[in-house]
Amino acid sequence: MKTKAFLIARVSDPEQRSALPGQVSRLKEYGKDNNYDFELFEFDESAYKDNRNTFSEIVEKIRNYPEKSVVVFDKIDRYSRDSTQSEIKILDSLRKDGKIELHFPSDGLFVHRNSPATDLFRLGIGLALAKYYSDSIRDNVKRKIEQKLRDSEWPGKAPIGYLNERIDKKNTTVKLDPERADFVEKIFELRALGESYESIAKKMFKLGLRSNTAKRRRMTKGGIEHIINNPFYYGVMRYDGKLYPHKYRPIITRKLFNQCQDVNNERAFHKTKSRENDRGDGKGSVYTFSSLLKCGYCGCSISSYVKKGHVYMRCTKAKGKCLQGHLKEQPVLDEVEVLLSKFQMTEVEVKDIIADLKIKHDDQQQYYTQRIEKVRSENESIRKKKELLYHDRLDGRITVNQYDKYLEELAEREEELNAEFSQLTSNDTSFMVTASYLLEIAKEAPRLFRSSKPALQRKLLKFVLSNLTIKGNKIDFNLKTPFDTIAECSKTSNWLPGSDSNRQPTRYT
């Protein structure tokens, strides 16, 4: 009866793929020369992560084989590379029990139950060297990634809307994808308006956006969600849970990104509340005053629900009994619409306001631009200092303690600069766009509010109002800046500059 042999050919590094056919050829020849009843397994663990489970499955098959068998690897490093310790222990235990022999023909090593200490020593050294080689590759990759992050460069595949571009044999960069960058910006704009991921995916498919998959299908909801939550698009890359500024051209502003995050939070809130509260429709609908309105008696939230086709509001009474009764939503909507109708401006008045604001804020916008450039420049200086410090340590010009001390100082300053960078980029440096946008909202507020669905009505109210409370049937709120100024000037028809810039929010009851 022929001896059963398990021939295992495997590679776990992309650079070794070309070696796989050679392994297979040598293993087959070894199996035939020894007249084994052999079964060959070959797999490229660098191509598919699922293949890393294949070795575990083979080990399990070997363990369950009822007779004594031979397990053959071309070399020792093919036995140990990227294997878990549990797999090594299982095979070594089977060897000690006499159930298997381990053969490494290219290394001239054959290990069995009664192998001499010299052979076992050779195997141990081979395993240690293979592990060292694997760890060394991993460390080199890690260092390369860390260096790219310090250089404000992305170490992986560019996100949709960008393309990886090779500079030379060793270096690549990231550039805007001229065909899809505009699609990404549109995705953020739609989300900021309260659109669902599914709705955005459908609209973008009609516009021509396709996934990165081979079949170029419609993007999934998950794909849209990944884009919306990726800070890369406004200039910051997230890697291993940490944020780093990158040097590539942003597609959107930080302000638009934050608006989309607000929408995400709102929708998550309403999904949760739909499970907790009786909404009537059971679909987690967004109501106009959801999470905006507080009870004037106890300070708890006011929730909305549907009954017989009408929307009602009530206090959640989270703190106990409350005097606030149930009330219809429509009268409150009518009262808000009356307020919004007070924002009356002509096109000429809008242009005059924007011109005046531009004069006052150009200097501030210039400051932001200059300061961001200084922060980036100092970050680059710190990166170079870290490199010099590293080489000084390698050359023995400084001690380990000195290296750690200087590195900690540089890291602290780098953290301060990153915090300042985040603060600067979170400010709205595109002031004129924002000012024009807010004034247009004010001018069109009554029409927008009257014609919009609850989700967009709610978004408009968040722009305009704050501190909304209701006591009985009476609503109370503050107007946010600059809408308080707009309402005040509408009363007096005074749109000339010179009014108090520190005016407190207007209060209405």
Residue 129 half-sphere exposure toward CB, CA atoms < 13 A: 10
Query: Angle 181-192/254-276 helices, nearest 10 degrees?
Result: 50
Do 122 and 188 lie in one domain? The reply is no
Domain final position from 372, 404, 431: 431
Alpha helices in 341-453 (DSSP H): 347-394, 400-426, 431-451
Q: Are residues 47 and 169 in the same domain?
A: no
- Same domain for 208 and 96, yes or no, is no
- φ and ψ at 69, to 5 degrees? -140, 170
Which CATH number goes with the domain that contains 119? Answer: 3.40.50.1390
- 20 and 116 belong to one structural domain: yes
User: Which run of H or E residues covers position 87?
Assistant: helix 85-96
What is the chain's length?
A: 509
Note whether 181 and 55 are same-domain residues: no
Whole-number percent of the chain with pLDDT over 90: 28
pLDDT > 80? residue 48: no
Task: Write down the pLDDT at residue 397.
Answer: 86
Which of 180, 183, 191, 192 is CA-nearest to residue 437?
192
What's the confidence (pLDDT) of residue 141?
81
* Residue 138 shares a structural domain with residue 167: no
Largest CA distance in the chain: 107
Q: Is the pLDDT of residue 230 over 50?
A: yes
Window from 21-30, 33-42, 371-380, 495-504 with minimum mean pLDDT: 495-504
Strands, E assignment, 182-282: 236-239, 242-245
pTM for this model (two decimals): 0.44
To 5 degrees, how large is the angle CA 171–CA 395–CA 393? 80
Tokens in use for 445? Answer: 């507020």
Pairwise CA distance, residues 255 & 378, whole Å: 25
The residue among 214, 231, 252 that closes a domain is: 252
Q: Which two tokens stand for residue 147?
A: 């260096």
Q: Map residue 52 onto helix, strand or coil.
A: helix
Residue 476's alpha-carbon distances to 144, 357, 494, in angstroms, are 58, 30, 26
What's 152's DSSP letter? T
Under a CB-based contact definition with an 8 Å cutoff, are residues 50 and 58 in contact?
no
Q: With respect to residue 451, please indicate whether it lies within any of the assigned structural domains.
A: no
Contacts for 185 with CB less than 8 Å, ≥ 6 apart: 251, 252
Question: Does residue 504 sit within a domain?
Answer: no
Please say whether the dihedral angle defined by the alpha carbons of residues 487, 490, 491 and 493, taken in this order, is positive or negative: positive
Residue 268 C-beta-side C-alpha neighbours within 13 Å: 7
Q: Which range among 247-261, 349-363, 385-399, 421-435 shows the weakest confidence by mean pLDDT?
A: 421-435
Does residue 192 share a domain with residue 115? no
Residue 188 class from Cβ within 10 Å (0-12 exposed, 13-18 middle, 19+ buried)? Answer: buried
**What is the pLDDT, as a whole number, of residue 497?**
43
The bridge status of strand 310-315 relative to strand 302-307 is antiparallel
Domain match, 121 and 184 both: no
Asked if the peptide bond before residue 482 counts as cis, ω within 30 degrees of 0, the response is: yes
Tokens of 494: 């005074």
The more confident residue out of 128 and 470 is 470
Ranked by mean pLDDT, the top range of 36-50, 124-138, 402-416, 480-494 is 402-416
10 Å CB burial of residue 108 (0-12, 13-18, 19+) is exposed
Strand order in the sheet with 100-104: 37-44, 4-11, 69-73, 100-104, 109-111
Asked whether residue 171 carries a pLDDT value surpassing 90, the answer given is no
Structural domain boundaries, residue 396: 361-431
Encode 6-40: b = buried (16+ Cβ within 10 Å), e = exposed.
Answer: bbbbbbbeeebeeebeebbebbeebbeeeebebee
Q: Which pLDDT score, from 0 to 100, does residue 104 have?
A: 93
**Could you tell me if residue 261 is inside a domain?**
no
Residue 135 included in any domain? yes
Q: Are residues 136 and 187 in the same domain?
A: no
Cβ atoms within 10 Å of 117's Cβ, excluding its own: 8
Q: What is the 3-state secondary structure (H, E, C) of 113-149?
A: CCCCHHHHHHHHHHHHHHHHHHHHHHHHHHHHHHHHH
CA atoms of 319 and 173, how far apart (whole Å): 56
Do 174 and 246 lie in one domain? The reply is: yes
pLDDT digits 0-9 by tens, 107-151: 899 999 999 988 888 888 888 777 777 777 778 888 888 888 988
Same domain (yes/no): 62, 139 = yes
Calculate the alpha carbon distances from 395 to 139, 388, 389, 399 in Å: 20, 10, 10, 10
For residue 28, pLDDT over 90 is answered with yes
Of 259-268, 294-303, 380-389, 463-472, the range with the lowest mean pLDDT is 259-268
What pLDDT score was predicted for residue 454?
A: 85
Identify the domain boundary among 252, 270, 285. Answer: 252
CB 160 within 8 A of CB 184: yes
Would you say residue 461 has pLDDT above 70?
Answer: yes
Number of H helices, E strands in the chain: 15, 16
Does the residue 334 lie in any domain?
A: no
The pLDDT of residue 433 is above 60? no
The band of 504, judged by pLDDT with boundaries at 50, 70 and 90, is: very low
Cβ neighbours around 118 below 10 Å, total: 8
Per the domain annotation, does 392 fall within a domain?
yes
DSSP state of 301: B
Average pLDDT of the residues of the chain? 80
Same domain for 8 and 95?
Answer: yes
> What b/e sequence results for 192-217 when a residue is b if at least 16 CB atoms lie within 10 Å of its CB, and e otherwise?
bebbebeebbeebeeeebeeeeeeee
Beta-ladder partners of 305: 312
Report pLDDT for 195: 86
Number of structural domains (the chain) is 3
